[in-house]
Amino acid sequence: MKFKIFQKICLFDDNSLSGNWIHTMIESEPGVLWIGTWSSGLNRFDTLNHQFTHFRHTPGMTGV
């Protein structure tokens, strides 16, 4: 078994984890991990392409 370590590289790097303090992680479907960080928002990680998508809550904003 091999492990790969992902971590926050810099503030504006969209190809890395948004924060290094992980609160929770779940696989929603094969190949898709959702990673919640303590203070840096939610990350969707595509395990096949090794790509992160960042989601941050903006106080006062309402969603659809």
pTM for this model (two decimals): 0.76
d(CA 56, CA 53): 10
More confident residue, 13 or 24: 24
- The mean per-residue pLDDT over the stretch 28-37 comes to 95
Q: Are 51 and 15 in contact (CB under 8 A)?
A: yes
- 44 pLDDT tier (thresholds 50, 70, 90): very high
Identify the three-state secondary structure at position 56: coil
Q: How does residue 64 score in pLDDT terms, banded at 50, 70 and 90?
A: low
Long-range contacts of 7-13 (CB under 8 A, 24+ apart): 8/40
Q: Which of these, 35, 41, 50, 46, lies nearest to 11 by C-alpha position? A: 41
Give mean pLDDT, residues 27-51.
92
Cα angle 60, 9, 2; round to 5: 115
Which residue ranges make up each domain of the chain?
Answer: 22-55
pLDDT of residue 43: 94
